[in-house]
Structure 1
Amino acid sequence: MLRRLIYLFLLLPLACIDPYKVEVPEGEQLLTVEGIISTGPGPHAITLTRSATYGSVFEGLIRPVSLATVVIRDNEGNVTFLTESENAKGSYFTPAGFRAQVGKSYTLQILTAEGKVFTSTPERVESVPPIASLEVRTVTIPNKGIETPRSGVQLIAEIDDPADQNNFYFWRNGPAVYILETRPDLFTPRPSPENPNRTPQPKPCCIQCFRSEVGNNQSLFVVNDDNFNGLTARVPAAFIEDDGLRFVNKFRMDLKQYSISQGAYRFLRLVKQQAEISGSIFDPPPATIRGNMISLDNPDEVVLGYFMAAGETSRRIYIDKDDLTFKQIRAIIPDDCREVAGASTNPPADWNP
């Protein structure tokens, strides 16, 4: 028996397997172009970034592309130069008075600081019908592992689709303002030598403010009119999540509706489908979605993103807390509401619920 154990211990080292080192080539930095110009008021923004492909030591890092020359050229030869923002590197803005015009085609051209030249294919601007009305629907979303579901407001847009053209619609949440309510009476300062036990120190002001926020687009809403060409249609156009603050009192938002090109619609639809992949073994693997940007130095170079030119219309909606059939538990901010970013006691000049 002892002899067998000795043989077994002698054989154990032979069973060890050396780790196999996988050599993964470093991925390249891909230019990503994102932006839209429209017939709506400007300025309109084009954002340039570079992101690494799989295998790069910088994978997951997004870098702004600064110091580029960015211009928009229309089919009549007019050229508009964009200016890079001092506060947001990699974001380039049209002059304040610039608006795209229906019937014209626009091309985006980029010259990077390294001397590389990129261009888009022409994008034609189509007219867009107005949003006839907006309906509010409360939506709940199961929250895995948590009893309370996520929830929010879905906006249903009613549009009278023109029969004389094939329309491709895209919606984005515009600027929003809502009445923010906080609890300054619960204010407790951080521990300090003067107040080591964090004794509450209620503040006399202020309970209610008006808080502004930029468009919060968590989902893509796109549709074509194949099923309702020339008819009145009601389609989902936006989702606004209830974070326990937005719908405590009254919420206002401008919904933007765009008429985009068929190419832009196909691109956004693919992005939407890929973003909604559930993650099962039967799902297709993520793929690089090519847009309408190409490199003039190397046509085989992959450029991500899409430059869009579109007709634009918008509609404002006020949503009251009573419009929701399900609301999240109210979030408590134990401080003066003026301490919250984007909040002010003064309502917007055009606040008119």
Structure 2
Amino acid sequence: MRPEFDFKSGLVSVEGFVSTTRGSSFVRLSEINEFNIGVNRFVNVFIPGAQVSFLNTTTGNVVELIENEEAEIYMPPTDFVAMVGETWELEVVLSNGKVYRSLPETIIEPVAISDISATFNPELVYNLGWDDFVPGHSIQIDFEDPPGSENFYYWNYRSFERKDICAACYDAHIYRGGTCIPVDPYPLRPETIPIHTYYCESDCWRIRYNQNIFIFNDRFSDGLSIAKFPVGNVLLYTKKDILVEVQQFSLSASAYEYYETLKDIIDDNGGFNSPPSAALIGNMFSPGDPTEFVLGRFTAASSWVARTFLERSTIQLDPLENVVSVPEGTWSVPFPPEEYVFYAPCPGESRYNTSIRPEGWPTN
């Protein structure tokens, strides 16, 4: 039975992750400060303006994280990776001077993935957003569980698919100089204000992440060969070909217990976008106030990466997303006075976009 918790306005939640895989480390800060009557729960609100650092207690190195306002996340430099055997801590200093720290986490050896495969299912999972069963691929892996030791696994994935549209401007705006600017006066009635979209002028990939937690412990399978174990659901958002990168993390026992609780909450609430309905007290604390509850956890873990490329153009089902292209000039109105613009650059390197060809993407 999951314990209930009496949430109070102002509680801080810290979710941090350090990994041996580039692009997988992050920190998310939020505050529970608003009760939403419609969903009958408190809402997590992103905390900007903090100083966030990974502290390597093995080497003494300090890694400063950068705030990504679009993703509402703090990220280390793009080339950051941790190493097996290192011990890490997290430090957060809010704009009001409040300090939060984590207990130390040591990175243990990863377990190798020996094979990866995917199976398409027209009714893969039930999705609350669509109120129906939705199509997609189930991702499965094979691995050899090391004998004679307790092993705790957590799987994450990110997927890459080419973007066609690299900018979209709403509310009578057009794309100029790297941003959306208003057209004034606008020649159409307010109720007919269109959207304008702009094709990518160069290679650009959209990055998506898993929306559910997949975990496993070897209590009843120590030293066995694990085959076709499901570790992710890749929904058919579009019919574009997609590269799926699975990360198999080796966790500590305490980290596994935390993610086991988080999985129960997410499965009940319908995904990562739903705020927790029960307390998630991990290894974060406030040095200045030992009585303060700090939600969330900092985890440092090694990972083994496996990739699979899925061709989806021949699937005979409609995708979940329908992206409509509306270039300038589509609305047959006399603007802008200069030549139309049809292209925009890739939004840049971030958690959700990249112009760098992903490892494993076909070259032809």
TM-score by length of 1: 0.70
Match in the other structure for 2:254: 263
Check conservation: 1:65, 1:89, Cα contact below 8 A: no
Over 3 Å counting, the alpha-carbon distance change for 1:143 and 1:315 in structure 2 is: closer
Q: Does 1:62 align with 2:55?
A: no
What is the CA-CA distance between 1:330 and the residue it aligns to?
8.3
Q: 1:143, 1:43 → 2: CA distance?
A: 26
Q: CA deviation at 1:266?
A: 1.0
Instruction: Answer whether contact 2:19 2:303 (CA < 8 A) is retained.
Output: yes
* Preserved contact between residue 68 and residue 74 of structure 2 (Cα < 8 Å): no
Decide whether aligned partners of structure 1 residues 123 and 352 sit closer, same or farther in structure 2, where only a CA change above 3 A counts: same
The CA distance in 2 between the partners of 1:211 and 1:44, in whole Å, is 22
Which position in structure 2 is the counterpart of 1:128? Answer: 110
- The residue that corresponds to 1:109 in the other structure is 91
The residue number in structure 2 matching 1:138 is: 120
Residue 352 (structure 1) aligned with residue 352 (structure 2): no
TM-score by length of 2: 0.68
Q: CA deviation at 1:269?
A: 1.0
CA distance in 1 between counterparts of 2:298 and 2:206 reads 25
1:82 is matched with: 64
Q: Which amino acid aligns with 2:117?
A: E
Q: Which amino acid aligns with 2:295?
A: L
Instruction: Provide the residue aligned with 1:290 in structure 2.
Output: 281
Displacement of 1:127 in angstroms is 1.1
**One-letter identity of the residue aligned with 1:78:** G
Q: How does 1:169-180 map to 2 (within 5 A)?
A: 169-178=153-162
Q: Mean Cα displacement is larger for which, 38-47 or 289-298?
A: 38-47
Q: Which has the larger radius of gyration?
A: 1
Distance 2:50 2:267 in 1: 35
1: CA distance, partners of 2:323 / 2:11 = 43
- Tell me the distance in 1 between the aligned counterparts of 2:229 and 2:47: 35
Q: Which residue of structure 2 lines up, in the alignment, with residue 311 of structure 1? A: 302
Identity %: 21
User: For the residues of structure 2 that align with 1:114 and 1:53, how far apart are their CA atoms?
Assistant: 19
The residue that corresponds to 2:181 in the other structure is none
CA contact (8 A) 2:158 2:207 kept: yes
For these two proteins, the number of residue pairs brought into alignment is 303
Show structure 2 runs of 5+ residues with no match.
1-5, 166-185, 193-197, 271-275, 328-341
Alignment of 1:188-227 (within 5 A): 212-227=205-220
Determine the C-alpha separation between the residues in 1 that align with 2:356 and 2:100: 44
Deviation at 1:301, TM superposition (A): 1.0
Q: CA RMSD in A?
A: 4.3
CA separation in 2, counterparts of 1:94 and 1:65?
A: 15
Secondary structure of the residue that 1:60 maps to in structure 2? strand
After superposition, what is the alpha-carbon deviation per residue over 1:37-66, rounded to whole angstroms, capped at 9, x for unaligned? Answer: 11222583222222226599x952503242
**Counterpart selection for 1:229 from 204, 209, 222:** 222
Whether the 8 Å CA contact 1:177–1:210 is kept in 2: the answer is no
Structure number with the higher strand fraction is 2
Which residue, out of 51, 56, 60, partners 1:73?
Answer: 56
Summarize the Cα distance change of 1:113–1:179 in structure 2 as closer, same or farther, 3 Å threshold: closer
